[in-house]
Amino acid sequence: MAELVSHPDEVRVVAKRFGKGATNIDRYLELDGYKAVRKALGMQPDAIINEVKNSGLRGRGGAGFNTGLKWSFVPKQSAKPKYILCNGDESEPGTCKDRLIFEEDPHSVIEGVIIAGLAVGASSGYIYIRGEYRYLLEIMQKAIADAYAKGFLGKNIFGSGRDFEVYWHGGAGAYEVGEESALMESLEGKRGVPRIRPPFPAVVGLWGGPTVINNAETLASVPPIILGGAEWFANLGTPKNGGTRLFCLSGHVNKPGVYELPMGYNLKKMIYEVGGGIPNGRKLKAVVPGGSSCPLLTSEEIDLPMDFDTLMKAGSMLGSGGVVMVDDSTCMVKFALRIMKFYQHESCGWCIPCREGTDWLMKTLTRFHSGGGIRKDIDNIQYLSENMLGRTFCPLGDAAALPTISIVKKFRKEFEDHLEGRPCPFEKKGAVERLPVFA
């Protein structure tokens, strides 16, 4: 369904089976499928954890936490069952990569879940897929059933004497449910409101048992690490940022698509060489480097390697891999408003700073963009956003505040151009112009 693209600079690790019919379990087996789990069955749990830790694999869901380290927090002994939970809620605006993994290579996720289970001593895992992705849930249901039929799941997997169950689970539409603690609430059949931490899920998670929660791409990266080794994977990327990553290029770019590039790939090159530059002879104005929660970069700030630490140093985040290009025909006030409308819509309402903050900000930005802004609003937007930071149970409040603060700081002049009843200076141009469509 979703179209595939390619570029010579791609290094295919997670995407290596894309377009090769690997949803079929026999085809998956031909393409090195389920080899990693066989190998892992012969390894000590600590050896698996160390391999993943040393590979420098960091969470692809957004926060970029070292995956092996996260696994090591799970207590060895536990009175309650331990669980692996694959986060396939993918809803961060700009992000469309987990979709391709589920569509093209669902068994790699199952394999990652089993290996994570072997590493932490869990004997069941859940794969949560957002409700909108119904066709992918069906692909996953079939993949799981096929794996059971082959004896790769269930009792005595691969004749090893170990048992492992994998279950699918479908959502019903909610961005907040992608947040790890809300994800567990949702799986337990409740409203997706976050839980207070500590205790962290690694200690108290699903139904009170220790739980490892990882993004689908993170888990799909695990089998190649077990097969190829930590050193190989680490060397694909930059120090402490192992491997490759699926970058989703979208917005004002000539060749949108999902490309697997090494960690640390230069952003400018990504935009102009991989993505083919900005359409219609326009100039780049800003980039959302990793999904809508990340502070924006201006066109002057893009000559940098795309890894977690560099982006952090640059005052932004690598986030979820959604790289959105914004050209100079775009009104940044409108862009800020659109982002805030999203967070206002998705705030679960549990924490007051997030619920009220996103609402006030949306209202202010709406009035401001329509020409009813006063100078004081500009600082107020920034002040309100800053007051949401770190004051909520989950980072959705931060996710709303961070891009907003960056837009006010970096594009203040555009706010000033909307003052004194002036209509939006971009309204006529930008939006109406048709972009090339790759149908």
Partner 1 sequence: MRFSDQFEARFTEMLTHYPTKRSVLVPTLLYAQDEAGFLSDEVITEIAGRLDLTELDVRNVISYYSMLTTKPRGKFNVQVCRNISCLLRGADELIEHCEKKLGIAHKGTTPDGLFSFEEVECIGACSWAPAAQVNYDFHENLTAEKMDRILDEYRTKVQ
Binding of ligand FMN by 214 (CB under 6 A): yes
Amino acid 155 reads K
344 closest CA partner among 364, 359, 329 = 359
Tokens at 263, concatenated:
């960690």
Strands 305-306 and 265-266: antiparallel
Could you tell me which residues are beta bridge partners of residue 170? 129
Q: Rule CB under 8 A: which of 307-326 touch partner 1? A: 322, 324-326
Which of partner 1, ligand FMN, none does residue 348 bind (CB under 5 to 8 Å by kind)?
partner 1
Stretch that binds partner 1, among 17-25, 55-63, 154-162, 190-198 (CB under 8 A): 190-198
Rg (CA), the chain: 22
Which of partner 1, ligand FMN, none does residue 215 bind (CB under 5 to 8 Å by kind)?
ligand FMN
Q: Cis (ω within 30 of 0) for the bond into 93?
A: no
Binding of ligand FMN by 358 (CB under 6 A): no
* Nearest approach, Cβ of residue 439 and partner 1 (Å): 5
* 7, 150, 169, 367: which one binds partner 1 (CB under 8 A): 169
Binding of partner 1 by 258 (CB under 8 A): yes
Amino acid 254 reads N
* 33, 210, 251, 264: which one binds partner 1 (CB under 8 A): 251
* 55, 87, 250, 344: which one binds ligand FMN (CB under 6 A): 87
What number of chain residues touch partner 1 (CB under 8 A)? 65
* 394, 400, 405, 407: which one binds ligand FMN (CB under 6 A): 394
Binding flags for ligand FMN, 308-347, as an x/- string (CB under 6 A) = ----------------------------------------
* 91, 316, 347, 385: which one binds ligand FMN (CB under 6 A): 91
Which of partner 1, ligand FMN, none does residue 59 bind (CB under 5 to 8 Å by kind)?
ligand FMN
Tell the residue number behind the tokens 């205790």, with chain if given.
Answer: 199
* Nearest approach, Cβ of residue 240 and partner 1 (Å): 28
Binding of partner 1 by 257 (CB under 8 A): yes
Binding of partner 1 by 274 (CB under 8 A): no
In the bound state with partner 1, the residue whose beta carbon lies nearer, of 233 and 247, is: 247
Binding of partner 1 by 292 (CB under 8 A): yes
**SS3 for 169?**
strand
| Long-range CB pairs of 185-188, under 8 A, 24+ apart, other chains included | 186/128, 187/85, 187/126, 187/128
* 10, 90, 104, 307: which one binds partner 1 (CB under 8 A): 90
Phi, psi of 53 (to 5 degrees): -60, -50
Q: Give a three-class secondary structure readout of 294-363.
A: CCCEEHHHCCCEECHHHHHHCCCCCCCCEEEEEECCCCHHHHHHHHHHHHHHHCCCCCHHHHHHHHHHHH
Phi, psi of 423 (to 5 degrees): -70, 160
Binding flags for ligand FMN, 162-191, as an x/- string (CB under 6 A) = -------------xx-xxx-----------
Which of ligand FMN, partner 1, none does residue 278 bind (CB under 5 to 8 Å by kind)?
none
**Is 122 buried (19+), middle (13-18) or exposed (0-12) by CB count in 10 A?**
buried
* Nearest approach, Cβ of residue 110 and ligand FMN (Å): 16
How many angstroms separate the CA atoms of 185 and 189, rounded? 7
Binding of partner 1 by 164 (CB under 8 A): no
Stretch that binds ligand FMN, among 29-37, 212-220, 222-230, 385-393 (CB under 6 A): 212-220
Query: In sequence order, what are the residues at sequence separation of 6 or more whose Cβ sits closer than 8 angstroms to the Cβ of residue 147?
Result: 25, 107, 110, 153, 166
Number of H helices, E strands in the chain: 17, 11
Tokens at 221, concatenated:
């990266």
Which of partner 1, ligand FMN, none does residue 437 bind (CB under 5 to 8 Å by kind)?
partner 1
* 134, 197, 283, 363: which one binds partner 1 (CB under 8 A): 134
Phi, psi of 4 (to 5 degrees): -100, 150
* Nearest approach, Cβ of residue 304 and partner 1 (Å): 21
Binding of ligand FMN by 410 (CB under 6 A): no
* Helix spans in 205-307 (H): 216-228, 230-236, 267-269
Stretch that binds ligand FMN, among 37-45, 208-216, 257-265, 329-337 (CB under 6 A): 208-216
Give the footprint of ligand FMN on this chain (CB under 6 A): 59-63, 65, 87, 89-92, 175-176, 178-180, 213-215, 218, 394-396, 399
